[in-house]
Structure 1
Amino acid sequence: MKWVYIAAGIALYFKMIIMPNPTAEWSDLSIVETVVQDSGVPNAVSGIIFRNRLYDTIFEVIVFTIAILGVRFLLANEKPTEIVYQFSDQPSIILARLGATISTLVSIELAIRGHLSPGGGFAAGVAGGTAIGLIAITSSSEWMQGIYQRWQAATWEKISVLIFIILAMMTLLGMELPYGELGTLVSGGVIPLLNILVAIKVALGSWAAILLFIRYRGLL
């Protein structure tokens, strides 16, 4: 059998060397233009993530949710720390909160206009989580925990995941919203809504992880 494997390997090698490259047949076709026309949004990356490979994106959101649950499970039996490391000098606090303000504005911009320009839900969620982290290292952990519970952030995180999965499954079944005019804010069907939902999910999930690490480890 060893010689059969060797012969098959040699045959495959000559096949790759001798046979022409089929990519030449695609020279007149723009993949980016095809994705833009198919998804109805100028940002081809968003079109691929939330349409062409939407099935994969659903599980990416689920995996992130499981990761946050894993953090809670990992730290569930630990004793809360008594020492929390935070910025104490005023210049660092001012700069951190200024950075948090900028990150928040960037997060909103990426979530709302992510289907029109570079950005999207995941990038917006990361920017939002960065803003929360900068606030966390300059504020009281009890105050951060109080706001998290007062606004029921954990509940909204779960709701955003459920709505995302429902809208994604409807899209996979062929039920889509009107595309609208290409390049306008209200366009692309369900893609802008999916962007916003992913941004909410990632930002609130990051908030939960930050609070847990501060509570049980005393640092981010």
Structure 2
Amino acid sequence: MKWIYIAAGIALFVKMLVLPNSAPIVPDFSIVESIVKDGGIPNAVTVIILRNRLYDTIFEVVVFTIAIMGAYFLLANEQPSCAIYRFTDQPSIVLARLGATIAALVSIELAIRGHLSPGGGFAAGVAGGTAIGLIAITSSPEWMQEIYQRYHAATWEKVSVLVFIVLAAITLAGVELPHGEMGALLSGGIVPLLNILVAVKVALGSWAVILVFIRYRGLL
């Protein structure tokens, strides 16, 4: 049987070397330029994620939400960890919090201007989650949990998901905001708002998962 596989592999290799690939006939215009023009913003990746393939992005946000719920569910029957490990030496704390400050600023920049430059909601959320994680490993878990509950982070996370789904459904129905001037901060119609909602969702969801793993594992 293995000789059949070897022969098939050799035949495929010869085919790639001998037979030319049929080049597709493309129209005389740039696909990227067309995407940018349709979205009204210079970031073609964001246009694809939050406009051309918005249906997929909706389910990506839903899958992330289910993953957070799964972490809660799988660890719900376990006993909280008795030992919580975190940085205690002052140099490590200073460096970690400096990194958290930089990551938080990057997160805000990517969320607000992600439709104009490389970046976007998911990247901004990851940067925000990184900032929260760096603060978590330098602070007491009780303080982190208190801040999480005081500002109703869980509620804001759920609200951001619901608002994102509603706005995305309205967009898929064909209702769009004016695109504005190309390259301006207030351009791209509803895309910048969707970017910010995704960033809030990912950052707060990461915060929830971090608290769960600190509580039940003692370490990130």
Q: What's the TM-score, normalizing by structure 1?
A: 0.90
Amino acid at match of 2:133: G
Aligned partner of 1:174 in structure 2 is 174
Identity of aligned residues (%): 74
Q: 5 Å matches for 1:27-106?
A: 28-106=28-106
Amino acid at match of 1:113: R
Aligned partner of 1:164 in structure 2 is 164
Amino acid at match of 1:123: A
Q: List gaps (5 residues or longer) in structure 2.
A: 1-14
Amino acid at match of 1:75: L
User: How many angstroms apart in 2 are the aligned matches of 1:102 and 1:29?
Assistant: 40
CA shift, 1:21, in A, is: 2.7
User: How many angstroms apart in 1 are the aligned matches of 2:119 and 2:182?
Assistant: 17
Give yes or no for the alignment of 1:21 onto 2:33: no
Secondary structure in 2 matching 1:117? coil
Q: CA RMSD in A?
A: 2.0
Secondary structure in 1 matching 2:177? coil
Secondary structure in 2 matching 1:182? coil
Amino acid at match of 1:42: P
Q: What's the TM-score, normalizing by structure 2?
A: 0.90
CA shift, 1:68, in A, is: 0.2
User: How many angstroms apart in 2 are the aligned matches of 1:210 and 1:31?
Assistant: 41
Aligned partner of 1:8 in structure 2 is none
Give yes or no for the alignment of 1:186 onto 2:186: yes
User: How many angstroms apart in 2 are the aligned matches of 1:21 and 1:33?
Assistant: 24
User: How many angstroms apart in 2 are the aligned matches of 1:192 and 1:48?
Assistant: 13
Deviations 1:140-184 (A, max 9, x none): 000000000000000000000000000000000000011000100
Moved over 4 A (4+): none
Secondary structure in 2 matching 1:69? helix
How many residue pairs match? The answer is 208
Q: List gaps (5 residues or longer) in structure 1.
A: 1-12
Amino acid at match of 1:97: R
Amino acid at match of 2:99: G
CA shift, 1:26, in A, is: 1.3
Aligned partner of 2:11 in structure 1 is none
User: How many angstroms apart in 2 are the aligned matches of 1:202 and 1:54?
Assistant: 17
User: How many angstroms apart in 1 are the aligned matches of 2:204 and 2:166?
Assistant: 19
CA shift, 1:127, in A, is: 0.1
User: How many angstroms apart in 2 are the aligned matches of 1:140 and 1:71?
Assistant: 21
User: How many angstroms apart in 2 are the aligned matches of 1:102 and 1:21?
Assistant: 48
Aligned partner of 2:197 in structure 1 is 197
Deviations 1:165-217 (A, max 9, x none): 00000000000011000100000000000000000000000000000000000
CA shift, 1:29, in A, is: 2.0
Give yes or no for the alignment of 1:110 onto 2:115: no
Aligned partner of 1:210 in structure 2 is 210
Deviations 1:92-136 (A, max 9, x none): 000000000000000000000000000000000000000000000
